[in-house]
């Protein structure tokens, strides 16, 4: 069995890198800003050229060719690694490229590229169920600083969320979707089927890698689920990791919007409790491509110093 994924790709070399950064920051999406910080000899773009790379898109350009392709590949590998490991490492790195020796380009020059990663330590949220409460909850969560995906077995319930730019996945089994989730994902279980809710809850508890497993329902539902879970879990004490009922205790009401607001408030409290990583700051002096014969050597020395500082940054 497989998970059917809705994939949105974006390649827009015409969008200015600054506009792309603003857009991705507003959306809370992780991305890499790649900058040419030093050049020697003939190169496709001058110092200061930038492009933005996401796991599924790219904006602006470093001049195309093998150099740009290698930069994109390097950035995406690192974005994926940071996403899977919830990395809190230093958010900068520098790579050197010889256009002839390394990339088989005929320019003959060499460059150093500064990679800066943003939004890579934001929490992940999976809403399992796109019903009435899910429809109200997803837009709220999507505006928080997190990575959100909504799952459901019914494509027609996911379609309205797709139209709002919210990431969705259609699944056909509880086992498939739980195994596909990244560790440290916050789970909100609220499908249209109590049997499916139970299977998702049991499998999520067994994985022992999710910081929040929230199940919508009453105290009665919790008692019924707890009785069965105590019998079927490999370790009965795992049931203590289940949050049910869910929602902030100070927000009352049973209408979908009220319940959604309560859940969003509870998740926001959890996000605020996460320790934010300390990100080193790096200042790069403005550079001009045609400012004298000594400029390339000075830029190269500056980039080398940045590389040394980056390698010494606290992990």
Give the pLDDT score at 303: 54
The b/e string for 78-111 (b: 16+ C-beta within 10 A; e otherwise) is: bbeebbeebbbbbbbbbbebebeeebebebebbb
CB 280 within 8 A of CB 252: no
Tell me what the mean pLDDT of segment 154-158 comes to: 96
pLDDT tier for residue 108 given thresholds of 50, 70 and 90? low
Under DSSP, is residue 40 helix (H, G, I), strand (E, B) or coil?
strand
Give the pLDDT score at 280: 46
Task: Using the predicted structure, report yes or no on whether residue 69 has a pLDDT greater than 50.
Answer: yes
Task: Using the predicted structure, report yes or no on whether residue 315 has a pLDDT greater than 70.
Answer: no
1 part of a folded domain: no
74 part of a folded domain: yes
Helix (H) or strand (E) holding 305: helix 295-311
Q: Are residues 146 and 256 in the same domain?
A: yes
113 part of a folded domain: yes
Q: Are residues 132 and 86 in the same domain?
A: no
Q: Of 37, 72, 78, whose CA–CA distance to 58 is shortest? A: 72
Pick 141 or 304 by higher pLDDT.
141
User: What are the start-end ranges of the E strands in 209-311?
Assistant: 212-215, 242-243
Rounded Cα gap, residues 67 and 187, in angstroms: 40
Give the pLDDT score at 56: 84
Task: Using the predicted structure, report yes or no on whether residue 187 has a pLDDT greater than 70.
Answer: yes
3 part of a folded domain: no
Output the average pLDDT for the chain.
83
Number of H helices, E strands in the chain: 9, 13
* Farthest CA pair distance, the chain: 78
Q: Are residues 257 and 134 in the same domain?
A: yes
Tell me the per-residue pLDDT of 230-287, one tens digit each, with 9 for 90 and over. Answer: 999 999 999 999 999 999 999 989 999 999 999 999 999 998 887 544 444 444 444 4
Give the pLDDT score at 48: 93
Lowest mean pLDDT among 18-27, 198-207, 301-310: 301-310
Residue 278, C-beta contacts closer than 8 angstroms, at least 6 positions apart:
314
Tell me the per-residue pLDDT of 110-139, one tens digit each, with 9 for 90 and over. Answer: 889 999 998 877 888 999 999 999 999 999
User: Where is mean pLDDT largest: 59-63, 95-99, 225-229?
Assistant: 225-229
Tell me which residue has tokens 């943003």. Answer: 118
Work out the angle between the directed axes of helices 219-232 and 194-207 (0-180°, nearest 10).
50
Task: Using the predicted structure, report yes or no on whether residue 292 has a pLDDT greater than 80.
Answer: no
Tell me the per-residue pLDDT of 31-40, one tens digit each, with 9 for 90 and over. Answer: 999 999 998 8
Alpha-carbon distance values, 226 to 221, 243, 248, 258 (Å): 8, 11, 21, 26
Q: Are residues 15 and 67 in the same domain?
A: yes
Pick 141 or 6 by higher pLDDT.
141
306 part of a folded domain: yes
User: What are the start-end ranges of the E strands in the chain?
Assistant: 4-5, 10-12, 31-40, 50-53, 57-60, 92-98, 110-118, 124-128, 147-152, 167-170, 185-189, 212-215, 242-243
pLDDT tier for residue 23 given thresholds of 50, 70 and 90? confident
pLDDT tier for residue 58 given thresholds of 50, 70 and 90? very high
Q: Are residues 206 and 163 in the same domain?
A: yes
4 part of a folded domain: no
pLDDT tier for residue 158 given thresholds of 50, 70 and 90? very high
Q: Are residues 269 and 281 in the same domain?
A: no
pLDDT tier for residue 101 given thresholds of 50, 70 and 90? low
Give the pLDDT score at 66: 86
pLDDT tier for residue 9 given thresholds of 50, 70 and 90? low
The total number of structural domains that make up the chain: 2
Rounded Cα gap, residues 34 and 49, in angstroms: 8
Q: Are residues 259 and 174 in the same domain?
A: yes
Tell me what the mean pLDDT of segment 89-113 comes to: 75
2 part of a folded domain: no
Pick 297 or 47 by higher pLDDT.
47
Q: Are residues 130 and 248 in the same domain?
A: yes
Q: Are residues 65 and 162 in the same domain?
A: no
72 part of a folded domain: yes
Q: Are residues 153 and 199 in the same domain?
A: yes
Rounded Cα gap, residues 74 and 27, in angstroms: 23
Q: Are residues 135 and 149 in the same domain?
A: yes
Q: Which domain holds residue 138?
A: 124-273
Tell me what the mean pLDDT of segment 142-169 comes to: 92
Q: Are residues 29 and 168 in the same domain?
A: no
Residue length, the chain?
315
Tell me what the mean pLDDT of segment 173-189 comes to: 94
CATH number of the domain enclosing 161: 3.40.50.720
Rounded Cα gap, residues 72 and 81, in angstroms: 14
Give the pLDDT score at 7: 46
Give the pLDDT score at 207: 96
Bridge-based pairing of strands 147-152 and 124-128 is parallel
């Amino acid at each position: 069995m497989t998970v059917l994924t809705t994939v949105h790709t974006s390649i827009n070399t015409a969008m200015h890198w600054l506009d792309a950064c603003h857009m991705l920051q507003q959306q809370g999406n992780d991305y890499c800003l790649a900058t040419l910080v030093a050049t020697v000899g003939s190169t496709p773009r001058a110092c200061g050229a930038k492009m933005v790379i996401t796991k599924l898109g790219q904006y602006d350009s470093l001049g195309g060719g093998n150099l740009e392709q290698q930069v994109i590949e390097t950035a995406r590998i690192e974005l994926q690694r940071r996403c899977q490991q919830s990395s809190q490492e230093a958010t900068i790195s520098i790579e050197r490229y010889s256009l002839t020796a390394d990339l088989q380009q005929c320019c003959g020059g060499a460059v150093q590229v500064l990679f800066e990663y943003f939004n890579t330590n934001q929490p992940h949220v999976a809403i399992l169920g796109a019903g009435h409460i899910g429809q109200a909850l997803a837009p709220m969560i999507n505006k928080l600083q997190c990575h959100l995906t909504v799952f459901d077995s019914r494509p027609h319930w996911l379609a309205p969320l797709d139209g709002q730019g919210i990431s969705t996945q259609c699944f056909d089994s509880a086992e498939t979707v739980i195994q596909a989730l990244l560790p440290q994902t916050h789970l909100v279980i609220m499908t249209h089927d109590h049997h499916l809710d139970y299977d998702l809850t049991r499998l999520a508890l067994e994985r022992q890698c999710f910081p929040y497993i929230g199940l919508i329902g009453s105290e009665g539902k919790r008692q019924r689920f707890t009785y069965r879970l105590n019998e079927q879990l490999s370790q009965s004490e795992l049931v203590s990791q289940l949050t049910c009922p869910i929602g902030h205790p100070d927000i009352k009401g049973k209408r979908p919007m009220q319940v959604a607001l309560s859940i969003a408030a509870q998740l926001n409290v959890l996000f605020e409790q996460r320790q934010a990583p300390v990100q080193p700051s790096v200042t790069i002096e403005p550079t001009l491509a045609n400012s004298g014969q000594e400029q390339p050597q000075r830029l190269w020395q500056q980039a080398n110093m940045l590389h040394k500082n980056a390698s010494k940054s606290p992990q």
